[in-house]
Amino acid sequence: MTTQANTPIITEDVFLTSPKDTRIANLAARVGQEVTLHGWVNTARSSGKISFIELRDGSGYVQCVGEHHLLSPETMTEIQRCSQESSITVDGVVQEHPKQKGVYEINLRRVQVLHQALDYPLGKKDHGPDFLLENRHLWLRSRTQWAIQRIRNTIIHATYEFFSAYGFIKIDAPIITSTACEGTTTLFSMDYHDLGKAYLSQSGQLYIEAAVMSHGRVFDFGPVFRAEKSKTKKHLSEFWMMDAEMAFCTHQQNMRFQEELISYIIGRVLALNQAELATMKRNTATLEKVKPPFVRLTHAQVVQMLQKEGATIKANDDLGAPDEAILAKLFDVPVFIERWPAEIKAFYMKRASDDPSVVLAADLMAPEGFGEILGGSQREDDYETLKKRMESENVPISEFQWYLDLRKYGSVPHAGFGFGLERLVNWISGAEHIRETIPFPRLLYRFKP
């Protein structure tokens, strides 16, 4: 047996049962041919001599036109049964739209209803957010929700592509943990067998700091949990975080890498998801402007700017929602805020050698009011300095001895960052609320369905 390249070569789609079978996304290759499509009715209407069915099959949407004089009595009966969300199979000839280039239509020959959906609860009228969330299992089928998940999928893939190109190894951090990564006030806890309290991970960072000493460049990408009692458009109780960690990496290199990653992700969405962005009515001009280098401001500079605009923020304050709103008015591009006051940032961040009151951390603020999408820092790599900082912040040393150990055996300068996938999806897709960016959102007042 010869060794094959390890990329799959798809010669035949295993899901297709006849040579006529195809998917909406592939219609361009079938113009003039009769094809079979399987999907669901988005809308259907008939008038006199002609019927229109808008079909969706997961890969896209297509208008099916039924000229009644071409159709059998059986198909005419089936068209009557095409209520919203009924599952159907159609046969028809692929035509390019008479006026829109690159848009295809199906001239129907046959329609068969597989399962008729009666009284689908999500009609065409506007529903309130509670009703939609209650019906999230069905809401996912709507065109905007479909578009958002496809953009999310591109972002996930682009992230893997980018890290892979830079030689990163994916490391799966644990979800059940014995300690806090981002402060004890936002931890979900649980009873762990007979061993006492365990916590759901807030970020895999500390664990991938161990793995980076094995692989040099690593990332994780998985669910994390925050118990903060926030009911904003930006907070989820469960979300997907990507953490990256690089050995022999400084604060400056960390930011350089981040702006390349974010620009790459946006470039991929612009290349692959124009139809989805149009569905979202997303103004892509601001996305097209996202190119390295990003604006870099120190926290002190930002505080000054905000104060000038009338904000009440003080020197050692974190940014609040009103501050983020002002910043969004001042910049229409992503902005790094770096060199944060050490006292409001995590214990693991390295202090600047020229000013120990600030840490070598940067948060990336998205434009258009979407706020912080990413946070990172160079890590404290000196055993004694880190230990002192942990003691002064009452971090339980015994629980973190393994983490301190990393500074005991071949410590190196290292840095890393994490982004919240849903924050990124929210910004790039232009979705109204973070709850629309994850298939089944867990919010302060909801964890069903």
Q: Which does 420 bind (CB under 5 to 8 A by kind): Mg ion, ligand 4AD, none?
A: ligand 4AD
Size of the residue set binding ligand 4AD (CB under 6 A): 23
132 Cβ partners below 8 Å, 6+ apart? 122, 139
Residues sharing a CB contact under 8 Å with residue 152, sequence separation 6 or more, in sequence order: 421, 425, 429, 437
Comparing CB distances to ligand 4AD, the nearer of 23 and 414 is 414
What is the per-residue binding string for ligand 4AD in 291-310, x denoting contact by CB under 6 A?
A: --------------------
x/- track of binding to ligand 4AD for residues 191-230 (CB under 6 A): -----------xx-x--------------------x----
Select the binding partner of residue 422 from Mg ion, ligand 4AD, none (C-beta < 5 to 8 A, by kind).
Answer: ligand 4AD
Shortest separation between residue 440's beta carbon and ligand 4AD, angstroms: 14
By CB under 6 A, residue 66 contacts ligand 4AD: no
> With respect to ligand 4AD, which residue has the nearer C-beta, 104 or 417?
417
**CB-nearer residue toward ligand 4AD: 21 or 372:** 372
| Alpha-carbon span 74 to 77, nearest angstrom | 5
Q: With binding defined as CB under 6 A, does residue 367 bind ligand 4AD?
A: no
Q: What are the CA-CA distances from residue 172 to residues 219, 242, 244 (Å)?
A: 8, 11, 11
Establish if 105 lies at the interface with ligand 4AD (CB under 6 A).
Answer: no
Partner in contact with 290, chosen from Mg ion, ligand 4AD, none, beta carbon below 5 to 8 Å by kind: none
Determine the Cα–Cα distance for residues 112 and 76; give it in Å rounded to an integer: 10
Task: Identify the DSSP state of 70.
Answer: G
Element spanning 391, H or E: helix 383-392
Our finding on whether 373 is near ligand 4AD (CB under 6 A) is yes
Q: Does 428 bind ligand 4AD (CB under 6 A)?
A: no
Binding partner at 159 among Mg ion, ligand 4AD, none, C-beta below 5 to 8 Å by kind = none
Cβ neighbours, 10 Å, residue 249: 22
Q: Give the nearer residue to ligand 4AD in terms of CB position, either 276 or 422.
A: 422
**Residues 249, 142: contact at Cβ < 8 Å?**
no
Minimum distance of Mg ion from residue 376's CB (angstroms):
9
* Alpha helix stretches (DSSP H) within 65-106: 73-80
Angle of the 421-429 helix axis to the 251-272 helix axis, nearest 10: 50
In angstroms, rounded to a whole number, what is the distance separating the alpha carbons of residues 267 and 155? 10
SS3 label, residue 141: coil
Q: Catalog residues that contact Mg ion under the rule CB under 5 A.
A: 375
